[in-house]
Structure 1
Amino acid sequence: MFEGLSFLRELLTIRSYTGSEQAIGQRVVQEMQTLGFDHAYLDESGNAIGVVRGQKRGEALLLISHLDHVHEGDTTLWEHPPYDAVLEKNVLHGRGTVDIKGPLSAQLYALAGLIQRGERPVQDVVLAAFVEEETGGKGIAEFIARMPFKLPDGEILNITGAVVGEPSSNQVMLGHRGVSHVTLVFRGAAHHASFGLHDQNPMFELGEFLGRLRQYDLPVHPIVGEHTLAPTQVTCDSGSENVTSNTVSLVLDWRSTSTPEEMRQILKRLTSGLRVDYEVSELWTLKNTPGFHIEPDHPLVQKLYRHVREVHEAFGIWNFATDGRYTHAQGIPTVGFGPGNPRLAHTVHEHILLEELEQHVRVLQAFLLDPQ
């Protein structure tokens, strides 16, 4: 049985929407203090920080999770109430089981298990549960901006690696693509629909673009895979069914490793000859954040993989974005590893297997004790 089950079930009853993480942050810190962490506190951003000192002092591994979760949506669509933490045949149901209170609890109790056995990880470990991950990563961005990491007594720990605990079914994850949102505004001239002036109707400009997009071969990255460019929202400025629009706006969700300039060149080819305006934001804005990737032969990956390969022989990548992009940008080698099925994140079917939580604890403990 997963030792942290009671704690996890309690966390699931605490609604911690983005921007409202104080109560859960305080509870996480309380648990760290009770279980004997060397340091446990809320930092100035509201991030829950726990530190377990290692056999060797000074260099630290960062375990990354977060405190916030998305809204539950229509509760009538859930098989079990989303905040009742229903346990059924070793399956725990509810909002946050996978993203990310389950992984957070597994990380916390992996460290607590070592403390209870009188063992210490090889190096110092910092467990950080960040605020506002779901809306872009404000918590980790502020954490990184305050680097180097300092303990409350002023001692500096050099963070030399990071493990992102987002759900991966306990598979080693090598990263994910960046995410950008671009709005294209197709221009025409509004007129009475009865005239059928196709050359003035921006809907046909939109249609031509979508046809080109469907046939376009986007780049493929050797680690994080195929880029995607998906239309998600269409709006127009016409308020009547019998009037065409002056403009039609299309929102694109773009998952890639391309630079802003490379993205502009792709859009230039896709929109050639069309009456359209658009703007690609620079990186590290709300509209454009990069991804991250790490080579499979990196020592951090190989060390973790030694303990994971009996569970998963292959490496994976995430489709969604994580806080790992911030540590990677800081030059910190970053890899992913977390319990829970990533396809269940943000869904009304969210649940986690206790077996996966137990498995994560065992593997993470072995990794943290590995001297190589």
Structure 2
Amino acid sequence: MFEGLSFLQELLKTRSYTGSEGPIGQRVVQEMKLLGFDHAYLDESGNAIGVVRGKACGEALLLISHLDHVHEGDVDLWEHPPYAAVLEKNVLHGRGTVDIKGPLSAQIYALGGLLQRGERPAKDVVLAAFVEEETGGKGIAEFLSRMPFTLPDGEVLKLTGAVVGEPSSNQVMLGHRGVAHVTLVFKGAAHHASFGLHDQNPMFELAEFLGRLRQYDLPVHPIVGEHTLTPTQISCDSGSENVTSNTVSLVLDWRSTSTPEEMRQILKTLTAGLKVEYQVFELWTLKNTPGFHIEADHPLVQNLQQHVKSIHDGFGIWNFATDGRYTHAHNIPTVGFGPGNPRLAHTVHEHIHLEELQQHVEVLQKFLLDLQ
């Protein structure tokens, strides 16, 4: 049985939409204090920070989680009420069970369990549950902008590695692609639909582009895999069914490791000869953030994998973005490892198995005791 069950259920019953994480942040800090963390506090951004000193002090591992979650959507589509934290046959149901209150609770209780047994990790551990992860990572961005990491008593710790606790079914994750959103505006000339002037109708420009996109071979990264360029939304400026549009806009969701210039070259090829305008934003805007990746033979990965291999022999990658992109950009070696099925995140079927939570606690504890 997962020892942090009651605490997790309390978190699940507390809505913590992005921008409203204050109460849950305070509750997380309270639990860390009760479990004997050496430091536990809310920083100036509202991030919940906990520190457990290790046998060797000065260098620290950062455990990454967050406090916010997405909206539950139509509650009628849920088998169980999304905020009731229903436990059924050792399966806990509800919004946030995998993204990310289940993983957060497992991280907290892994450290708390060590302290209750009179043990300490091999080196310092900083557990950070960040705000506003779901909308781009404001919490971790502000946290890293204040580096070096300084304890409340003024001591400085050097962050030498990071483990992102997003759900991975307890598999070691080597990273994920970056995410960008690009809007293409196809140009035409509005006219009465009865004239059938196809050369002035931007819908046909759009259709030509989509045909090219479907046939285009996107790059494949050796670690995080195939890039994707996916149409998600279409809108036009016509308000009538019998009038064509002057413009048709298409939103593309782009998951890749490409630089903005490489993305522009791809779009230049795909839009050659078409009447269209677009803008590829530079990195680290809300429209374009990079991913991260780490080599499988990196010491941090190997150190973690030796304790995980009895569960998962191979490595994985996430399809979605995480706060790991920020630590990677700050030259902090970053790897992923968290309980819960990542395919359940943001869905009305979100749930987590207690056995998987306890499995994560036990593996994480062994890893922390053996930190290199």
Q: What range is the shorter-chain TM-score in?
A: over 0.9
Q: How does 1:359-370 map to 2 (within 5 A)?
A: 359-370=359-370
Aligned CA-pair RMSD: 0.4
| 1:18 and 2:46 aligned | no
User: Which blocks of at least 5 consecutive residues in structure 2 are unaligned?
Assistant: none
Identical aligned pairs, as a percentage?
A: 86
Using the size of structure 2 for normalisation, the TM-score is 1.00
In 2, distance between residues paired with 1:154 and 1:239? 61
For residues 174-230 of structure 1, give each alpha carbon's deviation from its aligned partner in whole angstroms, at most 9, with x where no partner exists. 000000000000000000000000000000000000000000000000000000000
Residue 108 of structure 2 corresponds to 108
Counterpart Cα distance in 2 of 1:22 and 1:260: 36
Written as runs of structure 1 = structure 2, the 5 A alignment for 1:201-216 is 201-216=201-216
Mapped to 2, the partners of 1:236 and 1:177 lie a distance apart of: 30
Deviation of 1:48 (Å): 0.2
Cα deviations across residues 279-322 of structure 1 (Å, max 9, x unaligned)? 00000000000000000000000000000011001100000000
Q: Distance in 1 between matches of 2:157 and 2:87?
A: 39
Q: How does 1:176-255 map to 2 (within 5 A)?
A: 176-255=176-255
1:145 matches 2:145: yes
Give how far 1:250 is off.
0.1
Deviations 1:52-79 (A, max 9, x none): 0000000000000000000000000000
What's 1:34 paired with?
34
Determine helix, strand or coil for the equivalent of 1:206. Answer: helix
The one-letter code sitting in structure 2 at the alignment partner of 1:237 is: D
The aligned counterpart of 1:50 is: 50
Q: Aligned partners of 1:287, 1:11: CA distance in 2, in Å?
A: 31
Instruction: List gaps (5 residues or longer) in structure 1.
Output: none
- SS of residue paired to 1:230: strand
**In the TM superposition, what whole-angstrom CA distance separates every residue of 1:101-141 from its partner, at most 9, and x where no partner exists?**
00000000000000000000000000000000000000000
Q: Which amino acid aligns with 2:158?
A: N
CA distance in structure 2 between the aligned counterparts of 1:109 and 1:167, rounded to whole angstroms: 16
3-state DSSP of counterpart to 1:60 = strand
Distance 2:127 2:115 in 1: 14
Pairs aligned (count): 372
Deviation at 1:18, TM superposition (A): 0.0
**In 2, Cα distance between equivalents of 1:221 and 1:124:** 34
Once the two structures are TM-superposed, the CA of residue 334 in structure 1 deviates from its matched residue by 0.1
- State the alpha-carbon separation in 2 of the partners of residues 327 and 195 from structure 1: 57
Counterparts of 2:224 and 2:371, CA distance in 1:
29
Q: Distance in 2 between matches of 1:162 and 1:117?
A: 24
- In structure 2, distance between residues paired with 1:224 and 1:297: 15
Secondary structure at the residue paired with 2:115? helix
CA distance in 2, matches of 1:214, 1:316: 26
Determine the structure 1 residue equivalent to 2:354: 354
The aligned residue for residue 91 of structure 1 is 91
User: Amino acid of the residue matched to residue 166 of structure 2?
Assistant: E
Q: Is residue 53–residue 120 contact of structure 2 (8 Å, CA) maintained in 1?
A: yes
Structure 2 equivalent of residue 129 of structure 1:
129
2-structure distance, mates of 1:113, 1:244: 65
* Pairwise CA distance, 1:371: 4.9
Q: Provide the TM-score with structure 1 as the length reference.
A: 1.00
> Equivalents in 1 of 2:348, 2:253: separation in Å?
23
* Number of the residue aligned with 1:3: 3
SS of equivalent residue, structure 1 residue 368 = helix
Q: How do 1:317-356 and structure 2 match up within 5 A?
A: 317-356=317-356
The answer (yes or no) to whether the contact 2:303–2:371 under 8 Å persists in 1 is no
Amino acid at match of 2:117: R
| Distance in structure 2 (CA, Å) of the matches to 1:15 and 1:315 | 33
The AA in structure 2 aligned to 1:340 is G
Distance 2:371 2:180 in 1: 40
Residue of structure 2 equivalent to 1:305 = 305
CA distance in 1, matches of 2:242, 2:34: 67
Rounded to whole Å, the distance in 2 between the matches of 1:64 and 1:228 is 26
Q: Name the SS of the counterpart of 1:9 in structure 2.
A: helix
Q: Which residue of 2 aligns with 1:257?
A: 257
Q: Secondary structure at the match of 2:209?
A: helix
Matches of residues 67-82 of structure 1 in structure 2 within 5 Å? 67-82=67-82
